[in-house]
Amino acid sequence: MTGRARQPRGEATALARLAGDEISGAVDGIAAVHRAISSRVFGAVRLGVGPAVAPVEVLHNAITDGVYEIVAGSTVAVGAMTERIVDRPDVTAPSRTVFGSVALGVIQGLIGDSLEDRRPTLAGPMTFRHDGAPVPPELLGATVPQPSSHLIVFLHGLVETEHAWRFGGQPSYAERLGEDLECCTLQVRYNSGLHISDNAHELSALMARLVEHWPVPVEQVSLIGHSMGGLVARSACFAATQQRLPWVRKVRKIVCLGSPHLGAPLEQLAHYASAALVAVPETRPFGRLLRRRSGGIRDLRHGSLVDEDWQGMDADALRRRAIREVALLEGAEHYFVTATVTRSPRHPIGRIIGDGLVLTPSGSGRNSARRIGFDETNSLHVPGAHHFALLNHDAVYAALRRWLLCD
């Protein structure tokens, strides 16, 4: 059997196993909460009636532990049965279907770094995609009818795939730009649970191969990233500059759509909430669950772009050293787009919530403590829009079309 034939079965089987493991782990977490609560209850009762409560506590623990073991065992059995059902040669690889790839994108975003060791089939390398299928950079030129010297590369955000760019069911930016401009638009899919700097190194390597093997000489590269994708683009350019790779000299424009350059408040909240939850026995399982969030998510706490921000560091430490500031790519024009759920960015709710996930100061790379260096004139603010609306919005497209016109 060929590797291509085994891939669909491998992905489907790995998904079934992961589902069984996660459900079983959830049962164990519930059991731990139950035991912590019951221990406090029996401890309080013991203060009143003394040692007489001990036999009741032992019986209670034996019964409940048995029940949870049966439930956990059942989930393992269901997972094994599901594996046999999906382990068929005619099963399409989930990563090549819209629904399957979206599910994988969410899983990767949440725990993608741990999948590298536990379920490498589901982790997946960064790839260019054409009609949902991975295409090596050396062969990508053959997928376009008329190769152009201007390449526009799209990078999705956390828990997303390239399908996210069709948000709302409308034609994507890539499709529209491909028709309106003399350019070639390319889609990247990556494991958003990996550290941003890890994905940046992968992107840099892919771009080097792409530029080297493109059918016509590449004169201009434009990078467009939504949310985390904008950070990956900036980090890849920085890494390529440090390594003096030729492809980065082709980058003329970088566009960040709702990217948290200064960090995302939701990850900052999760960081402190997990510390508070693990301090109490009854909530410790929930704190441990929060601490399972991926390295990619953790990087969004402050917008970390380089390896040194996380290597050798305690990810759960409440206080961490300052992150390294990464300068904007010299010789390239940088653009950013922000949004607020309110019509006015100055509205109190708009200031507090931003686009629902990213605040306007973070998206513009400027607050009282940090300044990334974006030019305010190269920006767009979309009022009355949420974070994911920036994936496919007429106002954003109009700006992209204007910004990406060849010089």
Domain boundary among 47, 69, 91: 91
Q: What is the CATH number of the domain that holds 342?
A: 3.40.50.1820
181 domain-assigned: yes
Q: Which position has the higher pLDDT, 75 or 301? A: 301
Reply yes or no on whether the pLDDT at 25 is more than 70. Answer: no
269 domain-assigned: no
Residues 229, 144, single domain; the answer is yes
- Which structural domain range is residue 189 located in? 122-263+324-403
What pLDDT, in 10s, does the model give residues 158-212? 999 999 999 988 999 999 999 999 899 999 999 999 999 999 999 999 999 999 9
Q: How far apart are CA 238 and CA 277, in angstroms?
A: 37
Of all residues in the chain, the percent with pLDDT exceeding 70 is: 77
Confidence class for position 224, pLDDT limits 50, 70, 90: very high
Q: CA neighbours within 13 Å on the CB side: how many for 135?
A: 21
Alpha helices in 225-281 (DSSP H): 228-242, 265-278
Reply yes or no on whether the pLDDT at 78 is more than 70. Answer: no
What pLDDT, in 10s, does the model give residues 230-267? 999 999 999 999 999 999 999 999 999 999 999 999 88
Sheet bearing 220-226, strands edge to edge: 133-135, 127-130, 184-189, 150-155, 220-226, 251-257, 333-340, 379-383
What pLDDT, in 10s, does the model give residues 281-296? 877 877 777 788 889 9
**Chain-centre distance for alpha carbon 8:** 23
User: Are the CB atoms for 129 and 187 separated by under 8 Å?
Assistant: yes
Residues 159, 253, single domain; the answer is yes
313 domain-assigned: no
Residue 85 has a pLDDT of: 44
101 domain-assigned: no
Residue 292 has a pLDDT of: 82
Q: Which position has the higher pLDDT, 361 or 104? A: 361
153 domain-assigned: yes
270 domain-assigned: no
Alpha-carbon distances of 28 from 19, 21, 84, 241, rounded to whole Å: 14, 11, 25, 47
Q: How far apart are CA 98 and CA 94, in angstroms?
A: 8
Strand 184-189 relative to strand 127-130, pairing: antiparallel
Strand 150-155 relative to strand 133-135, pairing: unpaired
Reply yes or no on whether the pLDDT at 1 is more than 50. Answer: no
Of all residues in the chain, the percent with pLDDT exceeding 90 is: 54
366 domain-assigned: yes
Quote the number of domains for the chain: 2
Residues 80, 129, single domain; the answer is no
Q: How far apart are CA 299 and CA 264, in angstroms?
A: 9
What is the model's pTM?
0.84
Q: How far apart are CA 162 and CA 141, in angstroms?
A: 18
Residues 152, 213, single domain; the answer is yes
